[in-house]
Amino acid sequence: MKTSQQIQVALIGRERQPVIIVDNFVPAPDTLVGLAAGSKFAAMGAYYPGLRAPVPTECVTAYIAPLAELISVTFGVSANPELIEAMFSLVTTPPAALRPIQRMPHFDGCEPERLALLHYLGGCKGSGTAFYRHRSTGFETISPTRLEPYDAALHRDVAAHGMPDPAYIAGDTPIFEQTAHFEAQFNRALIYRGNVLHCADISPETPLSDDPLTGRLTVNTFLMGTT
């Protein structure tokens, strides 16, 4: 039985950045889980704390198309943003093995037209996505003009407070204040600007398995719009 989508738009933080929340995002999520189970995962890059595998383009574009107008209106971008990449992702790194950069919120790029679509497919218990404000600058988004002062301030903060302990960030810290949190739910998608400070919320309950059938499985899609 097909279940219709449920869509909300939240405005988060002092900067009132929009986040689109779509429940029942795709009509057959188990098909994507099966596709992930047959994919070859590997470590990709120095930032993601786990393993990734490519998602076929047609799987992503078909699901994004019905939301094109909402995305355009919400973020002020073109109705057909360019697909940069789409990856199955599994968080697998134990807290003690996290690199320093993985213990803090991050941003995907400085461009306000860069969008992220995060689709939860498994391992949702104790998981979610959180958004943050950098305390000493007040920045919630990192634009090209903010990048240099943010980097300088972050280095000063680390010198004053020390590096975060080897753990996934959870809630407020001396350097960052949490502005919003969205719970992971099976077949829920979040769409937000990639330049908003954010990170995965990983609790001790979250399975850090490399098995797509039991681990924290998501599809991470990145789009680039034009204004």
> With contact defined as beta carbons under 8 Å apart, do 178 and 171 qualify?
yes
Residue-wise pLDDT tens digits, 126-140: 899 999 999 999 999
Where would I find the beta strands (DSSP E) of the chain?
Answer: 6-12, 17-23, 50-54, 82-91, 114-120, 127-134, 176-183, 189-193, 198-202, 217-224
Residue 179's closest CA among 213, 143, 144, 129? 129
Residue-wise pLDDT tens digits, 83-99: 999 999 999 999 999 99
Residues, the chain = 227
Question: Could you tell me the residue ranges of all domains in the chain?
Answer: 6-224
Q: In sequence order, what are the beta bridge partners of 8?
A: 21
Fold adopted by 6-224: Jelly Rolls (2.60.120)
Residue 113's closest CA among 155, 65, 76? 76
Percentage of the chain with pLDDT > 90? Answer: 91
Q: What is the pLDDT of residue 2?
A: 55
Q: What is the pLDDT of residue 1?
A: 42
Q: In sequence order, what are the beta bridge partners of 88?
A: 53, 219
pTM: 0.96
